[in-house]
């Protein structure tokens, strides 16, 4: 049992030193500008997110692994532009890798009255 404690200490210490690779943004849909809608042919898309007037622009990329969730259901990433134009939201959550700015997922929660 005494040998287990040092082993656990080593394991937990190494876990606490791990880098966090993802960041989350929660914004109004009006803070999102779709520069290039995702295309299944190109397997690429580009959006800009600006959190405030004096904040820098976050240029985030959509790729084949990006997930778009609308009303709790997975949708084609190609629907992001249409959704942005027709269903404004006060709560869009974007999770992305902060090293390469690739989007893991976008969770779009439309509201009936904006």
Predicted confidence (pLDDT) per residue in 5-22, tens digit = 666 566 666 555 556 689
Section 49-64 average pLDDT: 94
- Domain over 21-109 is classified CATH 2.60.40: no
Q: List, in order, residues 6 or more apart from 104 with CB less than 8 Å away.
A: 22, 65, 66, 67, 95, 96, 97
Pairwise pLDDT comparison (109 vs 57), residue with the higher score:
57
pLDDT value for 107: 95
> Six-digit token pair at 36?
């290039």
CA nearest 64: which of 99, 39, 96? Answer: 39
Spatial distance between the Cα atoms of 82 and 106, rounded to a whole number of angstroms? 14
Cut 0.85: pTM above it? no
CA nearest 97: which of 68, 60, 42? Answer: 60
pLDDT value for 47: 96
Average pLDDT of the chain to the nearest whole number: 86
């Amino acid at each position: 049992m005494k040998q287990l404690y040092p082993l656990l200490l080593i394991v937990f210490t190494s876990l606490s030193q791990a880098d966090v690779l993802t960041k989350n943004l929660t914004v109004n849909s009006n803070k999102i500008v779709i520069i290039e809608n995702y295309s299944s042919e190109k397997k690429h898309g580009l959006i800009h997110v600006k959190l405030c007037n004096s904040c820098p622009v976050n240029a985030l990329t959509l790729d084949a692994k990006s997930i778009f969730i609308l009303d709790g259901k997975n949708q084609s990433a190609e629907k992001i532009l249409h959704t942005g134009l027709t269903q404004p939201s006060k709560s869009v959550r974007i999770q992305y890798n902060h090293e390469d700015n690739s989007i893991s997922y976008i969770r779009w929660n439309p509201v009936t009255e904006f």
